[in-house]
A and B are shown apart, each in its own frame.
Chain A
Amino acid sequence: MGVDKIDIKELAIELLIPLLAIIFSFIIGAIIVYTFGYDPIETYAALLQGAFGNLNRFADTLLAATPLIFTGLAVAFAFRCGLFNIGGEGQLLVGGLAAAWVGTFDGLSVVVHVPLAVLAAAIAGAIWIAIPAVLKAFLGVHEVITTIMMNYIAYAMVAYLSLKVLANPGEIKTPPIEASAYLWRFSNILDIRSYMNLGFILALLVLLFIYYLLWKTTIGYEIRAVGINPDAAEYGGISAPKNIILAMLISGALAGLGGAERTLGLYHYYIQGFSPGYGFTGIAVALLGRNHPFGILLAGILFGALSNGRTFMNMAAGVPIDLVNIIQAIIIFFVAADLIFRQFIPNKSEGGVA
């Protein structure tokens, strides 16, 4: 199959598998809920209501989806080049911290300050993946291990910088950023309490840009070619090391942007432990979205809805909020092991081993 050829049947399967994964995961979730004496229908109704029940909750769902769209894009972009960036968490943290630091600069106008702080986050994210990128491109060191290691180095590094360098003694958060670095909030014009902010719009723009970059430019073509077969790409005159480094730096920058949205849009400071694992959930978002920007948008909103609706679910139905994490994990299993579904789809192509 060619790089750009659209196969209708394959496309249908691509759409069907995530859908089946979601359905089966929710069924298993219902069984778990029922086993422990709760009402599954009441649980899911509450989850839905908590996520989309009114305009404010809907905005909160999009707010929760925003960092996941960024980390999902980060994972997917690397995937497209055949790389697994499991270090989105660390890149997001250093990005968030960089934005929080630049955000405290005073005397800048909004039109300069916001882009500068956002850019700082992207650069920090890219820097955080640079070592794994170079090691992968030139020495073939597996990026999964190095990006995991960089996550843990990031945890320690941001703890040190935020608590012992930037924060005032005794504080667990950095000094508040200047108002000129705030990402504009929708509550300024809409009657909502949600902190949903321009970061979501930025996520949509970045998403479109990534789509354009991957499928409409030579850069994207080369990155995908290396992803499909690095040796063949090299034979065709495309440098694998160059594209591996480029794809990983962009991937890191995308995750860094997710951190910027949290500090510039939601918190207005950097607080230790603010990420509940956005980088890891991003892996789930990318997989469920089939590594495609538009799929990631939908998957990001689904996961945002789960994380936003769970508090209401807990209040209304009494189910522990962590049910949501269990469902997320099961979704990943089903999407990753899509052979479970594919084995039931008749395969007419000759000699095909599923």
Chain B
Amino acid sequence: MEILTQIFSLETLSSTLRMATPLAIAAIGGLYSERSGIINIALEGLMLAGAFIAVVVSYFTGIPWLGLLGALVFGGLFAMIHAVVSIKYHADQVVSGVAINMLAAGGTVFMLNIIFNTSGTSESVNALPYWGPFKPTVYIGLLVVFIAHYVLFKTPFGLRVRSVGEHPHAADSVGIDVEKIRYICVGISGILAGLAGAHLSLGVLDSFREGMTAGRGFIALAAMIFGKWTPFGALGASLLFGFSQAVQIRLQGLGIPTEFVQMIPYIFTIIALAGVIGKSTPPTAIGEPFEKGKR
């Protein structure tokens, strides 16, 4: 009983929300991209780059809000590489995503060496202030989820995004610019992944550490899939995965190794994909380059 009250304490619940924030934001980013038909396994790298740029801008300007803005802008620009390579040059989107992740991992440490003269942790910079119990990014994250739901399901733009992801040729035939929609969506995914990264480096911490996203981009991907490619689903999955991160230390006290708790998001996602608890199905046209006039 005591352990249960510990697990569901106010402290764990608020830490769940903190842990879930970067997952939910990046998952929504992935959602825009994938709903438009572009696979985005680059969330990890985009987050890492965002986390880094946020710290660098805050370091040079002393203003964390500019760091946050920098992360958004750079995340969007960085994602454009994925967009151009995937959309214009029809590259395999998974391969492009792998390359983005590699470029981010190598590039951030390279620049860490150049700017901070270290391969480990950057200097401490001005971090985002608290707004009540949480950092601003937590509230922004929740807002992002609601906006995504509204945009994707209640606006003409959202309808276009979904139609481009399901039936690009049908969308094209009614005059929708398939490629333009996809560029916008991949750009949004980069902006949001950058925001998620800034939450880690300027919200949770006040510095950049090598590889500090530590797989959160892939947990976000898992949350997006587990949430069946819907904003509220992704939020729910992020909260669940965030909760499992928040309680793993306490569960260790019960004799459950942290490693097993760490596996939970990934095992859940495989089970969801297998259709054991209601099959998770990706958008139909996902991963296919769009070639006008073909088919």
Residues of A within 8 A of B (CB): 36, 84, 86, 131, 135, 139, 141-142, 144-146, 148-150, 152-153, 155-157, 159-160, 164, 277, 280, 283-284, 287, 320, 322-326, 328-330, 332-333, 336-340, 353
Contacts of B41 in A (CB 8 A): 86, 144, 148
Instruction: Please tell me if B218 contacts chain A, counting CB pairs below 8 Å.
Output: yes
- Of chain B, the residue at the smallest CB distance from A327 is B106
The answer to whether residues A339 and B89 also contact, given A160-B259, A287-B95, A332-B99 and a CB cut-off of 8 A, is yes
Instruction: Please tell me if B274 contacts chain A, counting CB pairs below 8 Å.
Output: yes
With both chains docked as a complex, state the minimum distance between the C-beta of A248 and any C-beta of chain B, in angstroms.
15
With both chains docked as a complex, state the minimum distance between the C-beta of B149 and any C-beta of chain A, in angstroms.
23
Interface of B is mostly: helix
- Of chain A, the residue at the smallest CB distance from B81 is A333
Residues of B within 8 A of A (CB): 39, 41, 81, 85, 88-92, 94-96, 98-103, 105-107, 109-110, 113-114, 119, 215, 218-219, 221-222, 225, 257, 259-260, 262-263, 265-267, 269-270, 273-275, 282, 291, 294
Contacts of A86 in B (CB 8 A): 41, 94, 98
Contacts of A148 in B (CB 8 A): 41, 218, 221
The answer to whether residues A353 and B94 also contact, given A135-B273, A156-B262 and a CB cut-off of 8 A, is no
Partner of A320, one of B96, B110, B257: B110
Partner of B98, one of A131, A332, A338, A340: A332
CB–CB A336/B257 < 8 A: no
The answer to whether residues A152 and B92 also contact, given A135-B273, A144-B41 and a CB cut-off of 8 A, is no
With both chains docked as a complex, state the minimum distance between the C-beta of A142 and any C-beta of chain B, in angstroms.
7
CB–CB A337/B85 < 8 A: yes
Contacts of B98 in A (CB 8 A): 86, 280, 283-284, 332
Contacts of A139 in B (CB 8 A): 274-275
Determine the distance from Cα of A329 to Cα of B94 in the docked complex, in whole angstroms: 13
Q: Shortest 5 CB-CB distances between A and B: which pairs?
A: A325-B106, A337-B89, A329-B103, A320-B113, A160-B259
The answer to whether residues A36 and B85 also contact, given A283-B95, A329-B99, A332-B98 and a CB cut-off of 8 A, is no
Contacts of A340 in B (CB 8 A): 89
Contacts of B219 in A (CB 8 A): 152
The answer to whether residues A146 and B105 also contact, given A156-B263, A320-B113, A332-B99 and a CB cut-off of 8 A, is no
Contacts of B89 in A (CB 8 A): 337-340
CB–CB B259/A131 < 8 A: no
Determine the distance from Cα of A287 to Cα of B267 in the docked complex, in whole angstroms: 29
With both chains docked as a complex, state the minimum distance between the C-beta of A352 and any C-beta of chain B, in angstroms.
12
Determine the distance from Cα of A324 to Cα of B106 in the docked complex, in whole angstroms: 8
CB–CB A135/B110 < 8 A: no
With both chains docked as a complex, state the minimum distance between the C-beta of A180 and any C-beta of chain B, in angstroms.
31
Determine the distance from Cα of A337 to Cα of B95 in the docked complex, in whole angstroms: 9
CB–CB A144/B94 < 8 A: yes
- Of chain A, the residue at the smallest CB distance from B275 is A139
CB–CB B269/A149 < 8 A: yes
CB–CB A328/B90 < 8 A: no
Could you list some 18 contacts between A and B, CB below 8 A? Answer: A84-B94, A86-B94, A135-B273, A135-B274, A139-B274, A139-B275, A145-B273, A146-B270, A148-B218, A152-B218, A152-B265, A155-B262, A160-B257, A287-B95, A320-B119, A322-B107, A338-B89, A339-B89
Contacts of A338 in B (CB 8 A): 89, 91
CB–CB B102/A325 < 8 A: yes
With both chains docked as a complex, state the minimum distance between the C-beta of B33 and any C-beta of chain A, in angstroms.
14
Partner of A157, one of B107, B215, B218, B263: B263
7 more contacts with CB within 8 A, not counting A333-B96, A336-B96, A339-B88, are A145-B269, A149-B218, A152-B219, A155-B215, A157-B263, A284-B98, A320-B114
Determine the distance from Cα of A145 to Cα of B264 in the docked complex, in whole angstroms: 15
Determine the distance from Cα of A150 to Cα of B274 in the docked complex, in whole angstroms: 14
Partner of B85, one of A135, A153, A287, A336: A336
Determine the distance from Cα of A146 to Cα of B280 in the docked complex, in whole angstroms: 12
